[in-house]
């Protein structure tokens, strides 16, 4: 993998147009499929409304978002309605995020958010476009990146350093169990994973997670059994090898690398 962009053959009229051509060309040349390890992912033949690339080996779909500056806590995305429909039908694409340096003409960060981290709550509805806008009334969406746990942000390139492919594939497979879960069950798991991460320690006690009871109650106002629900998620995460049970009430996160 090389991080530099190739000079395009065509001259583009705007900076954003050429950046788009560079980033897409880079993905076509260097990006591998984090799901099956195939050495290339291919652009969709026609302009698909939500996905940009597909792996011909395993058929995983990817959407690419790229920008100069680092992604903050939100990423602008497509039509809200389409997003929700694809989420409900479980055929939303994985998300590839790229930051690049226009002076060096190269990739700084390149990460993938596996589609199984997309739960309804991380898709935010934007205000309809103003009546004066070309697409007046159109409703877009934001992806709330800040609500996705770190295990759902897998860096292929980080601060100009290329991660080992093996490690990327391991990190990817580590959370695939989320795919077998329905939207609601997945929502709970992702939220508890985020709580564990916010502890910033590899070993913790069940009480540490109970301390997030208020936060989780706000997220699930209809649920009056938050503590049993937390226990259930921890057990599930243990059964799927995401964490280990050390002794009664004590847990340890499995190492990723």
- Cα 40 to Cα 230: distance, rounded to the nearest angstrom: 40
Q: Is residue 38 a contact residue for Zn ion (CB under 5 A)?
A: yes
Q: Is residue 36 a contact residue for Zn ion (CB under 5 A)?
A: yes
**Least separation in angstroms between CB 109 and Zn ion:** 22
Q: Is residue 139 a contact residue for Zn ion (CB under 5 A)?
A: no
**Least separation in angstroms between CB 163 and Zn ion:** 17
- Reported as type and span, the H/E element at residue 188 is helix 183-198
Interacting residue with Zn ion among 1, 21, 40, 57 (CB under 5 A): 57
SS3 149: coil
Pick the closer one to Zn ion by CB: 58 or 76. 58
Site for Zn ion in 186-225 (CB under 5 A): none
Pick the closer one to Zn ion by CB: 55 or 112. 55
Q: Is residue 104 a contact residue for Zn ion (CB under 5 A)?
A: no
Segment contacting Zn ion (CB under 5 A): 14-22, 48-56, 62-70, 235-243?
48-56
- Cα 171 to Cα 35: distance, rounded to the nearest angstrom: 10
Q: Is residue 35 a contact residue for Zn ion (CB under 5 A)?
A: yes
Interacting residue with Zn ion among 19, 31, 33, 168 (CB under 5 A): 33
- Cα 3 to Cα 109: distance, rounded to the nearest angstrom: 10
- Cα 28 to Cα 41: distance, rounded to the nearest angstrom: 6
**Least separation in angstroms between CB 161 and Zn ion:** 24
In the chain, what is the greatest distance between 2 CA atoms, to the nearest angstrom?
Answer: 64
CA triple 102-106-108, angle to 5 deg: 95
C-beta atoms surrounding 85 within 10 Å: 13
- Cα 232 to Cα 220: distance, rounded to the nearest angstrom: 15
- Alpha helix (H) residue ranges in 13-144: 15-30, 80-88
**Least separation in angstroms between CB 164 and Zn ion:** 18
Q: Is residue 58 a contact residue for Zn ion (CB under 5 A)?
A: yes
Pick the closer one to Zn ion by CB: 36 or 164. 36
Q: Which two tokens stand for residue 216?
A: 């989780």
Q: Which two tokens stand for residue 74?
A: 């939100």
Pick the closer one to Zn ion by CB: 38 or 79. 38
Q: Is residue 24 a contact residue for Zn ion (CB under 5 A)?
A: no
**Least separation in angstroms between CB 66 and Zn ion:** 21
Q: Where on the chain is the footprint of Zn ion (CB under 5 A)?
A: 33, 35-36, 38, 55, 57-58
């Amino acid at each position: 993998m090389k991080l530099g962009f190739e000079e395009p053959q065509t001259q583009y009229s705007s900076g954003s147009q050429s950046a788009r051509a560079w980033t897409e060309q880079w993905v076509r040349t260097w990006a591998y499929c984090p799901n099956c390890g195939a050495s290339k992912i291919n652009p969709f033949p026609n302009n698909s409304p939500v996905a940009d690339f597909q792996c011909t080996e395993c058929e995983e779909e990817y959407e690419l978002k790229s920008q100069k500056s680092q992604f903050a806590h939100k990423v602008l995305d497509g039509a809200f309605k389409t997003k929700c429909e694809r989420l409900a039908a479980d055929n939303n694409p994985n998300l590839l995020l790229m930051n690049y340096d226009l002076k060096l003409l190269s990739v700084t960060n390149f990460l993938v958010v596996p589609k199984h981290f997309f739960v309804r709550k991380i898709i935010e509805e934007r205000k309809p476009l103003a009546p004066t806008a070309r697409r007046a009334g159109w409703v877009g969406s934001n992806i709330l990146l800040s609500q996705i746990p770190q295990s759902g942000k897998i860096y292929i390139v980080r601060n100009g350093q290329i991660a080992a492919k093996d490690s990327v594939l391991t990190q990817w497979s580590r959370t695939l169990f989320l795919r077998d879960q329905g939207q609601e069950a997945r929502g709970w798991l992702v939220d508890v994973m985020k709580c564990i991460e916010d502890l910033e320690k590899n070993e913790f006690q069940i009480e540490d997670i109970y301390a997030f009871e208020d936060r989780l109650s706000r997220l699930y106002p209809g649920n009056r059994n938050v503590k049993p629900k937390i226990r259930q998620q921890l057990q599930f995460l243990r059964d799927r090898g995401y964490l280990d049970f050390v002794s009664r009430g004590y847990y340890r996160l499995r190492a990723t690398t």
